[in-house]
Chains A and B, each alone.
Chain A
Amino acid sequence: MAKTIPSLADIETITIGSRPPGRPDDGGRGGGERPPSLPEGSYRLAMLFALASIGMLFLGFTSAYIVRQGLGEDWHPFSPPSILWANTALLLMSSATLHRARSLLRREAIRESLRWLSLTTLLGLLFLAGQYEAWRQLTAQGIYLSTNPHSSFFYLLTAAHGAHLLGGLLALGYLTWRGWRRRLLLMGTPDHLKRYGALVGTAALYWHFMDGLWVYLFILLFLWR
């Protein structure tokens, strides 16, 4: 029986580098040659699915919110502290600056791009500080997590969003730091730049999603009836 089994050498394989880059004619994208790194778009793809998952988390919270709102007479919504409007503006601005950073990166204007990336990180930090300030103002008014269901959801949703945004902030901060540290290297080799661009693109996808998510939560908490 052993004789009928082809050995490794009989199996057709192609060695590294024999296939021109790009999508193979038929089927898979990854193989053919041993991939030097992940196929293009893998980070982005994984991020899209991760965002679907995060979306489900907030969808779960939303359905609880809607059900709970419809339940009792104890639902006493408070009006948004004015700082939340400023925070929203900051976060929207950060999406714009991040977009600018990416388009500069695509044009290989690295130094300028890194400046805009740094500004984005700073705006994100300011947003989180502003959210904290909103919490502080509310607690000063005597509105706590357990005060009423609306305030419970306010603290829960802002905390959950803030924790996710903090993850994005860490990613942006890391990429900015790495960019400044290795900017010469970046300018030197197109491959590094491409990889860096893909990482920034993936982080941007996450960031824009968090931005949109905040707008959604803001509407859900204060404007939607």
Chain B
Amino acid sequence: MTQAVATHEAPKSFIRRYIFSTDHKVIGLQYLFLAMAAVTIGIVLSLYMRLRLAWPTERWPLLAKLFPQAMAGGTISPEFYLSLVTMHGTIMIFFVLTTAPLGGFGNYFLPIQVGAHDMAFPVLNMLSFWVTLAGFLVLLAAFFVSGGAPISGWTAYAPLSAIGEIAGPGLGMGQNLWIVSIALFCIASLLGALNFITTTLNLRTKGMSMTRLPLTVWAWFTTAVLALLAFPVLLAGGILLLLDRVAGTSFFVPEGLIVSDKILPHKGGSPLLWQHLFWFFGHPEVYIAILPGMGITSHVLSTFARKPIFGYRAMVAAIFAIGLLGFLVWGHHMFVSGMSPYSAIAFSLLTLSIGVPSAIKTFNWLATLYKAQIRFTVPMLFALGFVSIFVTGGLSGIILGQTSLDIPMHDTYFVVAHFHLIMGVAAIFGIFAGTYYWFPKMFGRMMNDALGKLHFWLTFIGIYAIFIPMHILGIAGHPRRYAETAGFDFLAPLQPLHVFITIAALVTAAAQVLFFFNFFWSIWRGRRAEINPWRATTLEWTIPSPPPHDNFGPRAPVVHHGPYEYSVPGAAEDYILQTAPPTAVKS
């Protein structure tokens, strides 16, 4: 077959090269920078909430400058507090925890790690990013419309979210924008997921069998399948919700609902239906956020333990099992909704069974570390931190997975502590591990080691200082989502804990400035990186840093080895590149 080879040269114009680029690496960076902008906003919103909780009567005229209307008089009203809850959750879950690990690192490194020159459908890939960005801007716009941002939480529970302005501030235009933003995000995710799946299945280079894929690729692949199947259900729910709001239908609004002394015209809808649709998506979404972090952690642990990952096949099976079970447990978010106790038992048992693949992963990580000569680099520290936080957050999951324990705890800070650790912070640690690990490849320079270590220890200790006390708040019965605790006598003794948590949050947030400084300073001023500074095995470490436009040039790599051949007896080095000739090991 003498077919002309498609030219794959870098486009010359600035706009085609850096803005409307179809290069998966540029798109990956665009996703990462979007996530950085989003996480900054998300952290600021959470600090506003923390300040309100610690010092409820204080005035903050300086902080009010950011939200002059919502914070008129310099105080955070309970309604605005709920807007902050909603926007913090939505921004963090969709535009940080889904965007950075999958859209960012997945886009940048999946094609390289499988030995491809780009994603299968580069134009779809570009569209995926721009639609995501549009979704983000639409979401932010909710702050600036009349009524402000919605107060219905990231779960947008009906009927609160379904009946419009009459139910509270932000539930008019703000809620509409929220729905549109999420719908755009669903569509963008579909485009991205199709690329991840097709590239993994069809564009692997010669010798890259499925069992030679790095665990990162397995994690991104599984995550993409989850996104592909979960987001459409949220989209379906979102469309129904929008119709209830603007077209007078009654999918989620029951009959005879009286709000502000007015009987609403809707009839016969079911608020529970929204919860089912939402959580059928919502639970897989948790795994969409955490699975890439598991992949990165496996990858980084093996590299810096200088040992093959323990139980590669079991790791792949566990990723799949977690993904599959993720579709069967949504009901555990609804134990307090009045569901039948029999279905609650089924959901509870399935939920607890997720402990099995999770434990397999944890034990394999520990077994990888066993008797290893660990190199405590910054990415390794964050990967170890991931394991620690995953276990801590997972243990409270076993508590909450049981109906009898969940019912009293459900609306308390115990749940807030649980999901922040397991899905928020653990995933963020995965993102940090990935950033420190791949930074030399993405920018050709090293990040500062001392600053990185300081960042790790401040963040690691800070995170536990924030969230361990939250468990105690929850056990003491402190309700979540409340801005105001003044009227409850039993909460008064807990106030010092709120102050402690807020101070810990301020310190931890300040520690992130170190990271941002290190990141941007190192892009221009960092020490030049070698091609393979960590002496790792996978394909991205065989090409220049940063990689050229078409990754491998006119030639494609041929793979002869598994992804984690570290300290192989008989090998010249303590690592064998996947592309090393088959004779690299003397038998």
Contact = CB atoms under 8 A, between A and B. Distances in A.
A146 B249 contact: yes
A73 B243 CA distance: 21
Residue of B117, B249, B268, B532 with highest tally of chain A CB at under 10 A: B249
Interface in B1-30: 1-6, 8
A149 B280 CA distance: 22
Given A60-B237, A71-B268, 7 more contacts: A4-B535, A11-B579, A13-B552, A26-B207, A36-B5, A45-B197, A53-B193
Interface string A18-60: 0101001011111111111111011001100110111011111
B206 A57 contact: no
Interface stretch (B47-55, B311-319, B358-366, B553-561): B553-561
A68 interface: yes
Interface in B192-216: 193-194, 197-198, 201-210, 212
Interface string B105-122: 000000000111100110
Contacts, number: 214
Contact of A67 (B198, B273, B560): B273
11 contacts: A6-B542, A13-B579, A14-B558, A26-B206, A27-B206, A31-B208, A38-B203, A45-B197, A64-B236, A74-B267, A152-B243
B499 interface: no
A63 B121 contact: no
A26 B120 CA distance: 20
Nearest to B267: A74
A28 B231 CA distance: 29
Interface of A: 1-2, 4-6, 8, 11-17, 19, 21, 24, 26-39, 41-42, 45-46, 49-50, 52-54, 56-61, 63-64, 67-68, 71-75, 145-146, 149, 152, 156, 160, 191
A149 B249 contact: yes
B161 to A, nearest CB: 16
B5 A42 contact: no
A53 B227 CA distance: 9
Contacts of B268: 68, 71-75, 149
A53 B190 contact: yes
Interface string B568-587: 00000100010111000000
Contacts of B247: 145-146
Contacts of A50: 190, 194
Nearest to A22: B1
A63 B8 CA distance: 46
Interface residues of B, number: 76
Given A41-B202, A145-B243, A152-B243, A27 B273 contact: no
Contact of B203 (A28, A54, A72, A156): A28
Residue of A2, A11, A39, A59 with highest tally of chain B CB at under 10 A: A11
A5 B270 CA distance: 63
A145 B270 CA distance: 18
Contacts of A36: 3-6
Interface in B119-164: 120-121
A36 B376 CA distance: 43
Interface of B: 1-6, 8, 114-117, 120-121, 190, 193-194, 197-198, 201-210, 212, 228-233, 235-237, 239-240, 243, 247-251, 255, 267-270, 273, 276-277, 280, 530-532, 535, 542-544, 552-560, 573, 577, 579-581
Contact of A29 (B190, B204, B579, B581): B204
Contacts of A72: 255, 267-268
B232 A30 contact: no
Contacts of A31: 115-116, 203-208, 556-558
B203 A39 contact: yes
B120 A28 contact: no
B197 A4 contact: no
A12 B8 CA distance: 21
A72 B269 CA distance: 8
B115 A28 contact: yes
A98 B555 CA distance: 40
Contacts of A27: 204-210, 212, 559
A58 B233 CA distance: 8
Nearest to B530: A2
Contacts of B580: 6, 11
A49 B194 CA distance: 7
Given A12-B579, A36-B3, A57-B235, A30 B202 contact: yes
B251 A49 contact: no
A96 to B, nearest CB: 29
Contacts of B267: 72, 74
Contact of A28 (B204, B237, B577): B204
Given A12-B558, A63-B277, A4 B573 contact: yes
Contact of B197 (A46, A64, A145, A152): A46
A34 to B, nearest CB: 6
